[in-house]
Amino acid sequence: MHSSVMEWVGEKIRETGTSGQSVLEVGSMDVNGSVRGLFSGATRYVGVDFREGPGVDRIMDAHHLEFGESEFDVVVSTEMLEHDSAFWLSLQEMGRVLRPGGLLIITARGNGFIPHGYPHDYWRFMPQSVGHLLALARCEVLEASEDWQPGHPGIFALGRRVPNLGKSEFIERGSHAT
């Protein structure tokens, strides 16, 4: 994981005071670093991935998260969406398990980043996609920024789960986001 991801996620944790809450990390296998240590004050931390490895507490398909609705205060997913053939299903599930008012923290690689496996690499995300991505998880955009470190283009997104909106209504709103 590029150092810019660790720095940005750490900054968001400090700014939002999320370290003392329940956290779900989707795509938690530690390949080149992990954000787990940044949440050292979490009351509960669960890391899920589709295969066993360092940082994985439970093996689980992100398209079918085995948790109840609104179970987590924070959902974080770093550098995973580009490896998910149906990322939209994972984002919908992240929104389902995130409590209303909870925070979603996402990073993903952008256009120009070299394909990198683990085990597959399907997508690249542009800054204009942040509103759409967060809308899939029923979240409003709190912050969207770009990672333009040499050789590591990507997006960083912080969203808040909006209460009392159905999935289809929020996705429709998100389809007009920029």
Nearest CA-CA partner of 42 in 7, 16, 60: 16
pLDDT bracket for residue 178 (50, 70, 90): very low
Helix (H) or strand (E) holding 101: strand 98-109
- Expressed as residue numbers, the domain containing 8 is 3-174
Q: Does the CA dihedral 107-133-47-58 come out positive or negative?
A: negative
Residue 91 has pLDDT above 50, yes or no: yes
Residues 13-35, mean pLDDT to the nearest whole number = 90
Which of 17-26, 38-47, 68-77 bottoms out in mean pLDDT, i.e. has the lowest? 17-26
Q: What is the pTM of this model?
A: 0.87
Question: What is the domain count for the chain?
Answer: 1
- The pLDDT tens digits for 1-11 are 678 889 999 99
Residues 11-30, mean pLDDT to the nearest whole number = 91
- pLDDT for 177 equals 47
Residue 175 has pLDDT above 50, yes or no: no
Q: In CATH, what number is assigned to the domain containing residue 9?
A: 3.40.50.150
Residue 176 has pLDDT above 60, yes or no: no
Mean pLDDT of the chain: 86
Residues 54-67, mean pLDDT to the nearest whole number = 97
Residue 131 has pLDDT above 60, yes or no: yes
Q: Does the CA dihedral 130-132-136-137 come out positive or negative?
A: positive
Torsion angle of C-alpha atoms 118, 11, 89, 138, degrees rounded to 10: -170
- pLDDT for 97 equals 98
CA distance 31 to 33: 6
CA distance 41 to 134: 25
pLDDT bracket for residue 36 (50, 70, 90): very high
